[in-house]
Amino acid sequence: MRLRMAARLVRGLVIAISATSLAVAAQAQDKKIKIGVVFDLTGPLAGGGSELGYIGAKIILDHFAKTGVEGYKIEAVYADAQSKPDIAINESVRLLEQEKVDMVLGFFSSAQCVPVAARVEQLKKFMWMTTCISSAVFNEKGYKYVFRPQASGDQFGMMTMDFIAQNAKAKFDKEPKDLRVAIIHEDGAYGVDVSKGNEAGAKKAGFNVVMKEGYSATAPDLSALVTKLKRAKPDVIFHTGYNPDITLLLRQAREQGLKFGALMGHGAGYGVYEKLKEGMGADATYIFNADPISIWLANQKTMDPKLPPVIKMVGEEFDKIRPGVAIRSAHVGIGASNTYVFMADVLPRAIKKYGGVDPEALRKAALDTDIPEGGTMLGFGVKFYGEGSPMAGQNERSFPVVIQYIDDKSSVVWPKSQAQREAVLPLPKGTTYSNQ
């Protein structure tokens, strides 16, 4: 009798232990973070840089899907914003409410980031922006759950103006006050924000601003804008646009005989050399672009030693997807680097220090981020402005650089601390747009 009772107790104990083990195993298996990823995979913004940003982000997410993070599985759920702000909002809400993702990540267009950020904050969910740059996303909004490691638009506009100001006398043989500059931009959140930085930089430098005008990125004809530029006779044109409006503008400028000394682009369409070359041929040579530095141009000697192998991996994976590309777009590296910061720095801290992946844990972990210069693949550091700041959620340590395309290569030419070669200024005699 006692033996039978003992046997029953042992069997009961074994069953209880097995059930507990299964429960623990199931619980461990259920530990995961679902990340909603939103980029433009169709429509005009896809080829203008969004799809390249998506590829960079996906390479990093796929990498961490294999390794996991602090015992959590990584599951990415992708959505196409279709180059439309309303679709971006709807897809973000769908991912959060129907797909039950823990957060949203990505976003190329500033025209999408501004309304999506407001909606995500309203839902008290977490948002991590990899690519869009408009300062209007954060300015005086007081968001708690929205973060961006990327540089802001006004920094882009200020950087290119400073570059020309520092080279006015040496390259153009003119004092800044005698240099004629034109500021043109697409009239969405992205273009308006960069143009404000251009205006502030022009005022600081003392430039003679001979023209400032916005236009619709979907305009079928920009010949009237070209005519105004011809009348204004600028030495330097500062342009913020996507594609195909960049190609349209420069094609009509060539047809109408517009001449100038330098063309300064600001990210987006200017960051996709393959598209510039496709639309302009040899005239893509000598164009300038402001963007965060390409991860393949960043100084690896001053970088955190764990990052060069990641850069190598991203390049190898990208080459499998897009073999034979002359210049790997900076957009790929932007998507990869800014996604890596979340996966390698913010997420582990949220899990270990704050107990999970809910919006509050992710928010606290992001605010704790303190990465010094050289600590990201883009070269800059990461520290977010906190509550009470007009730009709460924006990375205060980010910065763009100025690159120039020459002979199917891109090289950093400004600031001097990052420069890889001397800038070619103004456009050489005999080139299509040269006013020499």
Per-residue confidence band for 18, with pLDDT thresholds at 50, 70 and 90:
very low
Which pLDDT score is estimated for 418?
A: 83
pLDDT tens column, 48-59: 889 999 999 999
- Architecture per CATH, domain 154-291+400-414, reads as 3-Layer(aba) Sandwich (3.40)
Pairing of strands 409-414, 401-406: antiparallel
Which pLDDT score is estimated for 11?
A: 55
Distances (CA, A) of 332 to 83, 320, 337, 339: 18, 13, 9, 11
Q: Contact, 398 vs 151, CB < 8 A?
A: yes
Range in 46-60, 88-102, 263-277, 340-354 the model is least confident about: 263-277
Round to whole Å and give the CA distance between 176 and 164. 9
pLDDT tens column, 343-395: 999 999 999 999 999 999 999 999 999 999 999 999 999 999 999 999 999 99
Domain boundaries, the chain: 33-151+302-367, 154-291+400-414
Evaluate if residue 15 carries a pLDDT over 80: no
Nearest CA among 376, 404, 249 for reference residue 303: 376
Per-residue confidence band for 17, with pLDDT thresholds at 50, 70 and 90:
very low
Which pLDDT score is estimated for 8?
A: 55
Write out the E strands in 360-424: 401-406, 409-414
Per-residue confidence band for 4, with pLDDT thresholds at 50, 70 and 90:
low
The amino acid that residue 395 corresponds to is N
Round to whole Å and give the CA distance between 18 and 396. 52
Secondary structure class of 251 (helix, strand, coil): helix
Q: Which residues pair with 103 in a beta bridge?
A: 35, 126
Which pLDDT score is estimated for 275?
A: 87
Evaluate if residue 12 carries a pLDDT over 90: no
Cα 129 to chain center, whole Å? Answer: 8
Nearest CA among 156, 158, 180 for reference residue 168: 180
Percentages (nearest 5) of helix, strand, coil residues in the chain: 50, 20, 35
Which pLDDT score is estimated for 274?
A: 87
Per-residue confidence band for 28, with pLDDT thresholds at 50, 70 and 90:
very low
The percentage of the chain sitting over the pLDDT mark of 70, rounded to a whole number, equals 93
Round to whole Å and give the CA distance between 6 and 112. 68
- Phi/psi region, residue 224 (left: phi>0; alpha: psi -120 to 50; beta: rest), is alpha
The pTM of this model reads 0.80
Evaluate if residue 313 carries a pLDDT over 50: yes
- Neighbouring CB atoms inside 10 A of 299's CB total 13
Which pLDDT score is estimated for 272?
A: 86
Q: Which residues have a Cβ under 8 Å from the Cβ of 128 and sit 6 or more positions away?
A: 103, 104, 105, 147, 148, 338, 342, 346, 366
Evaluate if residue 213 carries a pLDDT over 60: yes
Which pLDDT score is estimated for 417?
A: 78
Round to whole Å and give the CA distance between 39 and 55. 10
Does the fold of domain 154-291+400-414 match that of domain 33-151+302-367?
yes
Evaluate if residue 25 carries a pLDDT over 70: no
Which pLDDT score is estimated for 225?
A: 98
Mean residue pLDDT of the chain comes to 92
The amino acid that residue 308 corresponds to is P
Return the C-alpha torsion angle 40, 43, 47, 53, nearest 10.
0
CATH fold group of domain 33-151+302-367:
Rossmann fold (3.40.50)
Round to whole Å and give the CA distance between 18 and 124. 39
